[in-house]
Amino acid sequence: MIATSPAGWKTILTKEQNGQEITVKTGDVIQVELESLGGAGYVWAFESLEKEYFESLRGGNRSVSKPGLEGAPVTKTWSLKARKPGKTLITLYHFRAWEGKEKAVDQFRVKVHIQ
């Protein structure tokens, strides 16, 4: 499935879009939102982010449970601005920081066509 965004659109990618292809325009923003078990030591990390195609705008965390609940899952977010036309991948791995991505328990991958 290929989804196309209108000009200036912000495309939000969640776990449901894993394995899909999207098409965006130069200047569009892609926001990736993935749940993480930070209390168990898990992190999401990019395999590599092609800076030729993306400008990293910001990232953050958003709680997915009641505030103040220690160790609860959080939603990690990254905002990426499409810089120039081309084809690339967004690939992230979910792993314990001390084990490395070789022992990832999950991955997220989306093919991106930038027009």
pLDDT in tens, 68-101: 555 567 889 999 999 999 999 999 999 998 999 9
Q: What is the mean pLDDT of residues 50-58?
A: 91
- High-pLDDT (> 70) share of the chain, %: 80
Question: Residue 22: what pLDDT?
Answer: 96
- Rounded Cα distance between 22 and 1, Å, is 8
pTM of the model: 0.80
Q: Where are the domains of the chain?
A: 2-114
- The predicted pLDDT at position 52 comes to 95
Q: Which class is domain 2-114?
A: mainly beta
- pLDDT 10s digits, 20-52: 999 999 999 999 999 987 678 888 999 988 999
